[in-house]
Amino acid sequence: MTRFADDLTSLRDLFATDQLILDPVELITYEIDAGVDRGCPGVVLFPADTQDVVRAVAWCRDHGVPLVARGSGTGLSGGAVSIAGGLILEFSRMKEIEQIDEISLRARFQPGVIAQYFADTVAARGLHYPPDPASARSASLGGTVAENAGGPHCLKYGVTANYVMGMEIVLPDAQCLTLGGPALDYPGVDLAALLTGNEGSLAMITKTTVRLLAKPPAVMTMMAAFDSVDLACSAVSAIIADGIVPATLELMDRKMMEILEDYTHAGLPVEAGAALIIEVDGYPAGLQPQIDRITSIIARFKAFGLRCTQDEEERAAIWLARKSVAGALARLAPASLAVDPTVPRSQLGEALRRMAKICEERKVPTYYVSHAGDGNLHPQILIADPNDEKLMDHIRETGRLIMQEAVRLGGTISGEHGVGVEKRELMNFIYRPDELAAMRDIKAVFDPEERFNPGKMFPTTAPEPDLIPQRRVLPAVQAIADQIRTAAESSPPGRVAIVGNAAPDRPAPAAEICVSSRALDGVLTFVPDDMYVVAGAGTPLASLRGFLEAENRILPLVSPWEETTLGGLVAANLNGPLRARYGGIKDLLLCMEVILPDGRVIEAGRPLVKNVAGYDLPRLFVGSFGCLGMITSVTFKVLAPPKARITRSIPVADPAEAVRVGLALYRQTINASAILWIKEKGALPGKLICTFEGLPEDIQVEEDLLRQISSDNHLAAIDPVKGQDGSSIWADWVRSCCDAGPLVKYGVAPGDLLGLIGSQPDKMTTNAALIDVANGCLYLGDDDHACLAQNAVERNGYAIDIGRTPPDPNRIFKDRSGTRLLTALKQRWDPSGCFNPDGPLL
């Protein structure tokens, strides 16, 4: 400690007095976040900009001082608590929204911006940033990114990770890097996706780029009462199975409603066993039909006391009740432990029952409110006296038992709060040693000296044996794993190549071992209630789509090629026009099974829509081109098919004009699943293709909008397209182009498309060209691409070859600053570099 005190003198030299808190009395206020764990920092530092962060991190590096990032200290798992003393880097003064791009629908912000302020600011411009954790009024965006925050609206809109596109980070060695950016699907591994939810343990995030949506113009809120929690839970599953995706589905049980009603007098149906708050959004015309449909579905579960409103005041009253949980509980006890296990939606009723039993047996008063739509429970365990250590142990043990039960039901220990200190020992419940080891490897690559947020996330104790059942590995997978292990262990190590689902014995160089996913073909599990499907990596996408079609479900991914396998699709991260409407592969992928280069078989992630326990391993393998491991099975979430879909075509000769019209549509629509301009090779006229899919009423509104915009721009007549949609048109075009020669995909922010195509307009006239406006992509059938590729990179974009085989690394243009981290990770898993050595690792 004396040493630390000496060191502080040098810190004082580096920063202004008002940037440092050193007074031990003042430091008391930085001992805790909104959770229950404590730790006193030695110093709190307020960086003003990235340079300050770099200097602070360098100082910590040079003086061996641990460092904890902190935003507003509203986390619930002790993530921002400095349990090892050291330095707290408090981001509250880095609070600038640096950019809101209303054309590309992107924003870039510093970590100290308050989440609600940001959401309100973009909403005032007709845009929508959906993550809405309950703490949004105080939480910093940096915290929501580091913890991968969710909230009631993530049922429909997903969590923070689904919006993060790029970051500026400072690594523990004080290097500042930029990862990702305003374009979608940079070639290679998306490290920004991996870092979302890293809990401050890998990097300091100094800037974040996110994507925004057009704001749904109307919202309707409904409250329904049920006789029992079980009936309410069944109603939730039925609503989702029907293909309606409400913006929120919140569940309260009777016990909770009674105390909320005492407190808020919001008119909750306290006589009922449970109630749901259901919110739908979209165009005004589409709301009532959705509510009618929901009403008829929940009638099957004896719903009663329906209350439905579009009135902002009444809506606020309903939500006030829901959001007053903490206040109402505070009247019953001075503290409570808020935990957030998440189970598969179908298990929600069972989970609540089992948890209630545990708490009853242990005489621990507990209340529940749940984001029922995604199985995210929030048991709130009351603490009569937070200073009573014996009681606290009893409470913690109860929390542990609850979590264990959630995991037994196929759930996870944290849906949104993060692991932090609070749940670190529970990581042994959910992940097997090999999976934790893989996460520790990531930590070691980023932060070998464990300087960033030490003591968090990873368990300090060894797991009890057989805590989690051994993973049942299919014989076919084990056979491949054995082959890979043998190759890695032989001397010299054998070179391993992954050949998709081609025959494993295809002609290959002498020393090469070819592993194929051919034997891994077929759907392994389909869980209609929880809306996910597990399939072998060798399954062709086309056959999975066929399977799902028979089940009246869709997986919104497309490949131009019949033979594309799921493993190949994920490894190449190829997304089509549907991405703008439904998210990309990384958003639809829940988890996967992977053979690491040393032959270990791990399950990366869990089949849950919300899981923030540990690093998001599946993201590491999306776009990895097989360099980090071989994917053997993938789990995708599936959706109900849209109720209606229309596709329209308009002849537009000038690509710039098409892009302008496309951008206007992109900015104003919420149902467009393709906005393309497409042109064959030669001086043929191009056409604008638009597909809208969703509710018939909503589609109608957007078709009218299309008509309006095209007449404003004096475009020719709109033709309906029959038998095809934007995705299939894209797929056919890409396939035929690839057959004819090289096809290059350029990615930029949508708003940069005009500049990109304007830089070499003649290329658009002579070559086959396709512009995917909503996704910011230009596809050109063109061999000589260096110049345009350079232009794309200057716009923070990229260029990559698209084809049946992995791209030539030398023809990929992008900023490669993150590559060294991936190389280091590969080095740990594949020291000899013999695993898929030719694949591009970016």
- The footprint of another protein (CB under 8 A) covers 21, 23, 25-26, 28-34, 46, 72-74, 90, 92-93, 114, 116-117, 135, 137-139, 323-327, 329-331, 334-336, 386
* 573 torsion bin: left (phi>0), alpha (psi -120 to 50), beta (else): left
At how many degrees (to 10) do helices 284-299 and 696-712 cross? 170
Cα-based torsion angle of the residue sequence 774, 777, 781, 783 in order, rounded to the nearest 10 degrees: 170
DSSP string, 114-142: BHHHHHHHHHTTTEE-----TTTTT-BHH
- Closest distance to another protein from the beta carbon of 134 (Å): 9
Rounded to whole angstroms, the Cα distance separating 130 from 52 reads 31
Provide the b/e sequence for 274-300 (b: ≥16 CB within 10 Å): bbbbbbbbbbeebbebbbebbeebbee
- Closest distance to another protein from the beta carbon of 246 (Å): 25
Adjacent-strand bridge partners of 219: 281
- Closest distance to another protein from the beta carbon of 29 (Å): 4
DSSP string, 555-616: -----SSTT-BHHHHHHHT---TTHHHH--HHHHEEEEEEE-TTS-EEEEE-S-S---SS--
Adjacent-strand bridge partners of 366: 381
Indicate the residue among 138 and 543 with the shorter CB distance to another protein.
138
- Closest distance to another protein from the beta carbon of 147 (Å): 14
Indicate the residue among 389 and 466 with the shorter CB distance to another protein.
389
Rounded to whole angstroms, the Cα distance separating 822 from 549 reads 37
**Cβ contacts of 665 within 8 Å, gap of 6 or more:** 672, 675, 690, 702, 705, 706, 709, 773
Tokens 């032989």 label which residue? 490
- Closest distance to another protein from the beta carbon of 330 (Å): 3
Cα-based torsion angle of the residue sequence 152, 153, 154, 157 in order, rounded to the nearest 10 degrees: 180
Indicate the residue among 140 and 148 with the shorter CB distance to another protein.
140
| Alpha carbons within 13 A on the beta-carbon side of 488 | 22
- Closest distance to another protein from the beta carbon of 114 (Å): 6
Indicate the residue among 331 and 722 with the shorter CB distance to another protein.
331
Q: Say which amino acid occupies 305.
A: G
- Closest distance to another protein from the beta carbon of 24 (Å): 9
- Closest distance to another protein from the beta carbon of 500 (Å): 50
Instruction: Single out the residue of 660, 742, 676, 648 nearest to residue 709, CA to CA.
Output: 660
- Closest distance to another protein from the beta carbon of 279 (Å): 21
Report the relative pairing of strands 719-720 and 743-747 from DSSP bridges: unpaired
- Closest distance to another protein from the beta carbon of 341 (Å): 20
Indicate the residue among 46 and 730 with the shorter CB distance to another protein.
46
- The structure tokens listed for 160 are 């923070």
Indicate the residue among 327 and 685 with the shorter CB distance to another protein.
327
Indicate the residue among 140 and 727 with the shorter CB distance to another protein.
140
Indicate the residue among 72 and 649 with the shorter CB distance to another protein.
72
Indicate the residue among 322 and 579 with the shorter CB distance to another protein.
322
Rounded to whole angstroms, the Cα distance separating 745 from 743 reads 7
Rounded to whole angstroms, the Cα distance separating 322 from 311 reads 17
- Closest distance to another protein from the beta carbon of 11 (Å): 17
Indicate the residue among 140 and 564 with the shorter CB distance to another protein.
140
- The structure tokens listed for 108 are 């870039």
- Closest distance to another protein from the beta carbon of 34 (Å): 5
Indicate the residue among 14 and 332 with the shorter CB distance to another protein.
332
Indicate the residue among 322 and 600 with the shorter CB distance to another protein.
322
Helix (H, G, I), strand (E, B) or coil at 538: coil
Order of strands, edge to edge, in the sheet holding 87-90?
A: 20-21, 43-45, 87-90, 67-70
